[in-house]
Amino acid sequence: MNANNTPATVLTERFADALAYAFAVHRTQERKGSGVPYVAHLLGVSSLVLEYSGDEDEAIAALLHDSVEDQGGAERATDVRARFGARVADIVLGCTDAIAEPKPPWRERKEAYVAHLRLAPSSVRLVAAADKLYNARCIVEDYRALGETLWSRFSGGRDGVRWYYRAICSALAQPDATRRMALVAELDRTVRELETLCRP
């Protein structure tokens, strides 16, 4: 059973293929400022999706959610669609805040992404919530270890990060499937902790 006491999702070889693909695509990438292999983030997000009743396509999309934005743009999106199907590719694209290079300015990009999430399909919102929960937990842990020096990692700085995660919570806080609302509630608790820790 998962976080909502529903039967576990059955994973097939497609998920194993996605694990290998995610590793190949992100193998040289590290989490910003930490030296942690980026694949740790992808595994964590996929784990959260499964814990909150995600299906196999959603779990695969969680593994690949940064592949288009960070590792190949439109060509990567085409490859993901060919390998894992239209639904996975659509979820990945729905979790992508920019494809074009150079990327638009940080605040403009994030405001557009928040607006997009308010109306995004349920599967996109599930993966996005898992992604942001994983990130928010990491920020809280790193802030405890590093204090104010942490904010140099982020384009938006302390105030931008606090604004962005609160805006994400608001965008996701619409009534919908129980699985996502429980996940969003956990995200909101973590963001409140972050806000308390890093008040100016």
30 beta partners:
37
70 assigned to active site? yes
How far apart CA 63 and CA 194 sit, in angstroms, is: 25
Closest of 187, 57, 70, 179 to residue 134, by C-alpha? 187
Contacts of 146 (CB under 8 A, 6+ apart): none
Among candidate residues 30, 51, 55, 70, the one labeled active-site is 70
Among candidate residues 56, 58, 66, 69, the one labeled active-site is 69
Q: Where are the alpha helices (DSSP H) in the chain?
A: 13-26, 39-51, 56-64, 67-70, 73-84, 86-94, 106-119, 122-146, 157-172, 178-197
Q: Which two tokens stand for residue 180?
A: 């996502």
Angle in degrees, CA 41, 9, 180, rounded to 5: 65
The verdict on whether omega for the bond into residue 7 sits within 30 degrees of 0, i.e. cis, is no
The answer to whether 126 touches 179, Cβ cutoff 8 Å, is yes
* Residues with a known catalytic role: 69-70
